Chains A and B, each alone.
Chain A
Amino acid sequence: MQYLELLKNMSLVQWAFYFLSVTTLFGALGAVMSKNTIHSVLYLVLTFFSISGIYIMLNAQFLAAVNIIVYAGAIMVLFVFAIMFLHLKGDHHGFDNTIFVSALTAVGILGVILTLAIKKAEHFRVDVNNFNPKIGLIENLGDVLYKKYLLPFELVSILFLIAMVGAVLLAKKEK
């Protein structure tokens, strides 16, 4: 009964949050458990999509958009692309016990770590009164990236460049 009350009193934002969480988890589970590789990639896309929804709720619209464009729109398409090309369709394993146990262990450990982390993080709760609602927006993001963290940012870009060159070299056929 109490829970029903709780449900009744939930705000629109909360509804949206729980909906997105459920879809995220559903997608994630689907990605892991689906027997068809293409299906699991598509589940993963669903996960990304709902995570982007959560980003939006956090007022990080830019992050949400980039998440969709880069992960769902490009990387996952490449995944699907590769899988389609490689005929991985028939190449799936059953969901046997060892995997189940190891997965459970991993999830358990992760859960413990996360719980601890969240517990600790509670100390840094946002000050509701002085909260800047534009914190996740692109202007602030740019400000932070190009002023405060300029050096790391550029370093990261160089890192990417190196990775790209490496990838090209690897992909290039030997003559």
Chain B
Amino acid sequence: MDIVLIVKSIIIVTIFAVSLGIAAYETYFERVIAAFIQDRVGPDRAGPFGILQPLADGGKLFFKEDFVPTLADKWLFILGPSISMLTALMSSAVLPFGDTLNIKGQLIDVQGMDVNIGILWVFGIVSLGVYGILIGGWASNNKYSLFGAIRAASQNISYELAMGMSLLAVILVSESLSIKAIVQSQHGINWHIFHQPLGFMLFVTCALAECNRTPFDLPESENELVAGYHTEYGSMKLGLYLFSEYINMFISSAVIASLYFGGYNYPGIDVVHDFLIKQTNDVTGHNIATGIGILVFFLKTFFFIFVFIWVRWTLPRFKYDQLMNLAWKWMLPLSVANLIIEAAAELTPMPFLASWVGLGILFLAYIIFRPLFLKRKLKQNLQ
């Protein structure tokens, strides 16, 4: 069999396994980080340092009584978590985890597949992910679930817009829809975060919203909706929902790392590459350099996972109407402004400087016009 095919399948299986494993251990890290943030120690009785906690949870969920409420729509009730899980797992296919591997003279991407619409693929899959929640919440035939589902739907649609807009700025700069190409365009330390800080902030906020994480965890906000869309779910079906949420978190972190933090790029990547090649040989050196790149990529991803968890245990939750206000009145205009600024900056000879100047102008405009705007609003309210 073709060596390329074999390596490729190994890579794909590895990616699959890695995203599952990371998702499983995200639950553990969530608990530990939450505990540390709250001056606690977190799970420490399941295995050394509680390291077996995810397995215990999984084992328990698998052997819990499987239950479908009498009034529920049986098939959809089962379909809900399945779709969630499916869509969550699909999106990791296009993520470039590293540069190329040199196997017998063939360069193989460390990536499931490099389609030229990679980022759209992620985007599309994520937008389908909401069906899992929607169907599950509706099928449970429970008020709280339905509320959770409806909130999830509207929230996801609203934030997808701003997300897409801020994404466009990145695509504009890197001139490709392929994530691999986007990563390559940030070679070394030429990361997009430095060009588009505003876009980055918007994207992170939207990513939080798309993953239904605090402060946007309205679909399952437990103090309001008991458990939101998965109120009626127990056993492994619940497990799948929780699991898919964590996979989504991993994917979003990875996407943020690739889009704004240069993916597997790191300062001095060329120097290291050359040095390694000199030390060993072309093949080994290249592969080791790729390995370092993969490591860097995962470091960045883990950092963002940490940020996700960190945010969750810090911030209060939005209210539904505020969430919508934020999406439509703040995020969307800002992302359009960001797009315009980036586009304009691309036309100038010094895009980097120009984009910062543009952002400065935007900020100044906000400071100046905000009070005027408020006054008018106040007048309207008084009338």
* Residues of A near any B CB (own CB < 8 A): 36, 38-39, 42, 45, 49, 61-62, 65-66, 68-69, 72-74, 77-78, 80-81, 84-85, 137-138
The answer to whether B121 and A84 have CB atoms under 8 Å apart is no
Interface status of B307 (Cβ within 8 A of chain A) = no
Cβ 8 A contact of A73, one of B76, B138, B160: B160
A-B contacts besides A42-B76, A78-B153, A81-B150, 5 pairs, CB < 8 Å = A72-B127, A74-B160, A77-B157, A80-B138, A138-B177
Contact flags (1/0) for B162-203 with A, using CB distance below 8 Å? 000000000000000100000000000000000000000000
- Given known pairs A61-B117, A78-B157, A84-B149, the reply for A68 and B124 (CB within 8 Å) is yes
B115-135 contact mask (Cβ, 8 Å, vs A): 1 or 0: 111001101100110110011
CA of A69 to CA of B119 in the docked complex: distance in angstroms?
Answer: 12
Say yes or no: B154 contacts A81, CB within 8 Å: yes
Is B156 interfacial (CB 8 A cutoff)? yes
Quick check: B134 and A80 within 8 Å, CB to CB? yes
Contacts of A36 in B (CB 8 A): 73
Q: Is the CB of A138 within 8 A of B150?
A: no
Is the beta-carbon distance between B123 and A69 smaller than 8 angstroms? yes
> Residue A138 contacts which of B73, B117, B128 (CB distance < 8 angstroms)?
B117
In the A-B complex, the 8 residue pairs with the closest CB atoms: A73-B127, A65-B120, A68-B124, A81-B153, A69-B124, A61-B117, A65-B117, A65-B124
Which B residues are CB-close (under 8 A) to A45?
131
Closest approach, in angstroms, between the C-beta of B153 and any C-beta of chain A?
5
Interface pair B120/A66, CB less than 8 Å apart: yes
The interface of chain B, by Cβ under 8 A from chain A, is 73, 76, 115-117, 120-121, 123-124, 127-128, 130-131, 134-135, 138, 146, 149-150, 153-154, 156-157, 160, 177
Whether B131 pairs with A65 at a CB distance below 8 angstroms is no
Inter-chain contacts of B76 with A (CB < 8 A): 38-39, 42
Check B134–A65 contact: CB distance below 8 A.
Answer: no
Complex: how many Å from CA A76 to CA B135? 12
Q: Which residue of A lies closest to B129 (CB)?
A: A73
Q: How far is A52 from B156 in the complex, measured between Cα atoms in Å?
A: 21
B120-A77 in contact (CB<8A):
no
Q: Which residue of B lies closest to A80 (CB)?
A: B134
Q: How far is the CA of A45 from the CA of B124 in the complex (A)?
A: 13
- Within the complex, the shortest CB–CB distance from B65 to chain A, in Å, comes to 27
CA of A10 to CA of B100 in the docked complex: distance in angstroms?
Answer: 35
Q: Is there contact, CB below 8 Å, between A61 and B116? A: yes
A42 to B115, Cβ gap below 8 A?
Answer: no
Q: Which of B120, B146, B160 has the most CB of A within 10 A?
A: B120
B156 engages A77 (CB within 8 Å) = yes
Q: Which residues of B contact A80 (CB under 8 A)?
A: 131, 134, 138, 153
- Tell me whether A84 and B120 are in contact in the complex, defined as CB-CB below 8 angstroms, given that A68-B127, A69-B127, A74-B127 are known contacts: no
Taking a contact as CB atoms under 8 Å apart, the answer to whether A62 and B120 are in contact is yes
Question: Would B130 and A77 count as touching, CB distance under 8 A?
Answer: yes
**A42, B123: Cα distance in complex, Å:** 20
Q: Report which of A72, A78, A81 forms a contact with B128, defined as CB distance below 8 A.
A: A72
State A61–B135 Cα separation when bound (angstroms): 27
Q: Are A61 and B131 in contact (CB under 8 A)?
A: no
Q: Does A77 contact B146, Cβ atoms closer than 8 Å? A: no
In the bound complex, how far is the Cα of B116 from the Cα of A78, in angstroms? 29
**Bound-complex Cα distance A30 to B150 (A):** 24
Q: How far is the CA of A84 from the CA of B131 in the complex (A)?
A: 13
Could you jot down 24 A-B contacts, CB within 8 Å? Answer: A38-B76, A42-B76, A42-B135, A45-B131, A61-B117, A68-B124, A68-B127, A68-B128, A69-B123, A69-B124, A69-B127, A73-B130, A73-B157, A73-B160, A74-B127, A77-B130, A78-B153, A78-B157, A80-B134, A80-B138, A80-B153, A84-B138, A84-B149, A138-B177
B46 to chain A, nearest CB (A): 39
Query: Which has the most chain B C-beta neighbours within 10 Å: A77, A78, A80, A84?
Result: A77
How far apart sit A111 and B160, CA to CA, in the bound complex (Å)? 38
Which residues of the other chain, A, contact B134 by a CB distance below 8 angstroms? 77, 80-81, 84
| Given known contacts A73-B160, A84-B138, A85-B150, A137 and B116 CB-to-CB distance under 8 angstroms | yes
Give complex CA distance A74, B73 in Å.
23
Known pairs A69-B120, A69-B127; A77 contacts B153 (CB<8 A): yes
